[in-house]
């Protein structure tokens, strides 16, 4: 995390603790898209993810005094978001089926930009569809680690903090996630050739 981002967040937290509502609103504006996406990726329910995003910020506001200014605010906030998503999944056995079209409709920034040949577009679309399908089949902990690392580019240390795991466990989760994804995609490819 850039030093300026850490300093900015720390200052906004200090101002929020002093009663400056606009400072906390700034934190919400800065991190709401990230929190919402992380929660949505875990639970795959747009309406519930909106509620859980709001719940995350309410919990963060209430616990703001416990935030350790030496740590990344983003990591601290994502830990709260992750816990909200896990609590939701524990309380409601949610179906995990989504299509690539649904993902791209809700998050158009994920769609590739630039001049691609039609053949490359088709290949990329097929791969993303298979990856989305395979992600829906692996255990939640593997999926979370994979998404936090490869979609949100969090460090191993930040993922460990968010998921309440050791760095070594995060590396193991990522290794296992990639292995399972690879096996699922290969098996699907072989079954479609038959």
CATH number, domain of 2, equals 1.10.1740.10
User: Based on the structure, what is the number of domains in the chain?
Assistant: 1
Query: What pLDDT digit, counting tens, does each position of 44-85 carry?
Result: 788 888 999 999 999 999 999 998 888 889 989 998 998 888
Domain membership flag for residue 126: no
Domain membership flag for residue 151: no
Domain membership flag for residue 83: yes
Domain membership flag for residue 85: yes
For the chain, what is the HEC assignment?
Answer: CCHHHHHHHHHHHHHHHCCCHHHHHHHHHHHHHHHHHHHHHHHCCHHHHHHHHHHHHHHHHHCHHHCCCCCCHHHHHHHHHHHHHHHHHHHCCCCCCCCHHHHHHHCHHHCCCCCCCHHHHHHHHHHHHHHHHHHHHCCHHHHHHHHHHHCCCCCHHHHHHHHCCCHHHHHHHHHHHHHHHHHHHHHHHHHHHC
Domain membership flag for residue 190: no
Domain membership flag for residue 104: no
Of the candidates 55, 28, 42, the one whose C-alpha atom is nearest the C-alpha of residue 96 is 42
pLDDT of residue 100: 45
Domain membership flag for residue 155: no
Domain membership flag for residue 170: no
Query: What pLDDT digit, counting tens, does each position of 91-130 carry?
Result: 765 344 344 455 555 555 545 444 445 665 566 566 667 7
Domain residue limits at 75: 1-95
């Amino acid at each position: 995390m850039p030093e300026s981002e850490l300093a900015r967040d720390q200052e906004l937290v200090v101002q929020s603790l002093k009663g400056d509502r606009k400072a906390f609103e700034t934190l919400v504006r800065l991190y709401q898209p990230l929190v919402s996406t992380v929660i949505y990726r875990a639970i795959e329910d747009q309406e519930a993810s909106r509620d859980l995003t709001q719940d995350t910020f309410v919990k963060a506001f209430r616990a703001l005094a416990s935030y350790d200014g030496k740590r990344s605010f983003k990591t601290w906030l994502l830990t709260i978001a992750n816990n909200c998503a896990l609590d939701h999944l524990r309380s409601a056995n949610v179906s995990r089926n989504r299509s690539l079209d649904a993902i791209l409709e809700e998050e158009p920034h994920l769609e590739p930009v630039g001049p691609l040949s039609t053949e490359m577009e088709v290949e990329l679309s097929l791969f993303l569809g298979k990856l989305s399908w395979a992600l829906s089949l692996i255990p939640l902990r593997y999926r979370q680690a994979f998404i936090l690392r490869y979609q949100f580019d969090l460090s191993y240390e930040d993922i460990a903090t968010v998921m309440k795991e050791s760095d070594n466990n995060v590396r193991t989760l990522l290794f296992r996630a990639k292995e399972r994804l690879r096996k699922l995609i290969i098996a699907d490819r072989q079954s479609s050739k038959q």
